[in-house]
Structure 1
Amino acid sequence: MSLLDLDARWRRLHDESRSCPCCGRQFSGLIDLGYDHPDDWPHGHRDDRPDVQVGGDRLTADLCRLDGRYFIRCTLPIPIRGSDERFSFGPWAETSEALFRAYLGTYDDPPGTFEGGPALLANDLPGFGEIGAALRLEPRDAATRPELFAEDGPLRDAQTQGLSFDALLDLYAEAGHDIRPHLQQD
C-alpha cells in the first residue's frame, strides 16, 4: 500500500470500474503525455500516417529529420511522491547526427551499439517549459524508447524528488486535461 492510497482522488484515478458522476468518464491510472512531433516541426501532425515527408524533412513515430537537425522520440519519467508509480512525458530530443545514426543502428540485424548521449528537449512541457533544456539520453531495451534525464533546473528536481499528486493534477490541467473535477466525488 502506498501513501497515496489514502487519497480518495488517487483511488478514483486508478479504479477502472468507477464512472464519474457528472459525465461517466472512467480512468485506469496515470495518463502519460506524448508529442506527435518536435515543436519546431512546421509540417503539421503525422496523425495516423506512418511517416510524413516534405522535401528533405521526414517524421515517423520515433524519428525526425528537419533542416539538417535530428530528433528521437523518448520518454521522460517523473516519479510520483507517495507511490511507486511514474508519470512520463513522451517528448522529442534533438541529438547530434552521430547519436541519431547510432540509435538508428539499433534497428539493424544484428543491432549496433547505442550508449546514449547528450540531447536537447525539443518540446515545451506543461509545468516546466524548458524547451532546449540539456538532457542525457539513455538507452533502454531494444523494444522501448530511450529515456531522458534533465541535467539541471526544475525538470531535474522533479525527476529526482518526484511530483506531488496535486502538482501532477495541475500539470494535466495546464496540458488541457483538467481531470480534477472528475476525481472529486462519487
Structure 2
Amino acid sequence: MSLLALDARWRRLQDKFGGVFDIGFDMPDAWPHAEPDDETPEVVAGPDRLAPELCRLGDSRFLHVILPLPIRGAEETLFLAPWAEVAAATFYGYLDHIADGAPFVAAEGKLANDLPLFPGSLSAPVSLQPGGDGARPLLLASDGPLAEAQDAGISFDQLLDLYTATGHDIRPQLSAD
C-alpha cells in the first residue's frame, strides 16, 4: 500500500479517474499556425508542418517526447508529453526509426514547452533516450527544478497544481461528497 492511499483525495482520484492521467502538449510553444484537432491532426502551413510525432518549423525540428515524473508516496508516475527541439540529424534519425525501425540513439535537445510549475523549463537543455519498442523518446532534464522533480518525484498537491495549470482542475471532484 502506498502512503497516498491514506489520503481520501488520492482514493477519489483512483475511483473517479482511474488513477493518474497523462498531460499532453499538442504542439511546441513556438508553433505559430493553426492548432491540430481530432479532424485535422496534421497541420501544414507553407513549408512548416506539425504532425502528432514530428514538427518542422522553419529551420527548427521538434520531436514529441515523454517526460516521466514519479509521484512521491505512490507507485504511479505522471507522464507529460511535451516537445523537444533537436538537431536535424536527430530529427531525421527518429523519422527513420518510425519508418523502418532503425535504432534511435540518445541525443541532446531543448525543451520546447514551458511546463507549469517548472520556471525556466522552456529551452532548458535535455537529453533524449530511446523510449523502447515503438514508444516516444524519453526526456531527461539535465538540471534545475525539473531534474529534481524527476529524481525526487512530485507531491500529490503538485500533481493537482499541474492538472489545474493545464486546464484540468479536478480538485472539486476530489473533495468530499
> Pick from 145, 149, 156: which aligns with 2:140?
149
Following superposition, the deviation at residue 36 of structure 1 comes to 0.8
Asked if residue 3 in structure 1 is aligned to residue 9 in structure 2, the reply is no
> Pick from 127, 143, 158: which aligns with 2:117?
127
- Report the structure, 1 or 2, having the larger helix content: 2
Looking at structure 2, the residues matched to 4 and 112 of structure 1 have their Cα atoms a distance apart, in angstroms, of 41
Moved over 3 A (4+): none
Following superposition, the deviation at residue 156 of structure 1 comes to 0.3
Following superposition, the deviation at residue 71 of structure 1 comes to 0.3
DSSP-derived class of the 1:78 partner: strand
Q: Read off the aligned partner of 1:98 and give its amino acid letter.
A: A
What is aligned with 1:183? Answer: 174
DSSP-derived class of the 1:178 partner: coil
Asked if residue 28 in structure 1 is aligned to residue 44 in structure 2, the reply is no
What is aligned with 1:13? Answer: 13
Asked if residue 116 in structure 1 is aligned to residue 106 in structure 2, the reply is yes
Deviations 1:96-155 (A, max 9, x none): 00011111111233x222112101000111111410011111112232111101000000
Q: Percent identity of the aligned residues?
A: 51
Asked if structure 1 preserves the Cα contact closer than 8 Å seen for 2:67 and 2:140, the reply is: yes
What is aligned with 1:37? Answer: 27
Looking at structure 1, the residues matched to 138 and 94 of structure 2 have their Cα atoms a distance apart, in angstroms, of 13
Structure 2: which 5+ runs fail to align? none
Q: After alignment, is 121-130 or 92-101 more displaced?
A: 121-130
- The TM-score, its normalising length taken from structure 1, stands at 0.90
- Aligned CA RMSD, in angstroms, stands at 1.2
Looking at structure 2, the residues matched to 142 and 103 of structure 1 have their Cα atoms a distance apart, in angstroms, of 13
What is aligned with 1:23? Answer: none
- The TM-score, its normalising length taken from structure 2, stands at 0.94
Output aligned runs, 1:52-131, within 5 Å: 52-109=43-100, 111-129=101-119, 130-131=121-122
Asked if residue 160 in structure 1 is aligned to residue 151 in structure 2, the reply is yes
Following superposition, the deviation at residue 163 of structure 1 comes to 0.5
Q: Count how many residue pairs are aligned between Structure 1 and Structure 2.
A: 175
- Structure index of larger Rg: 1
Following superposition, the deviation at residue 50 of structure 1 comes to 3.5
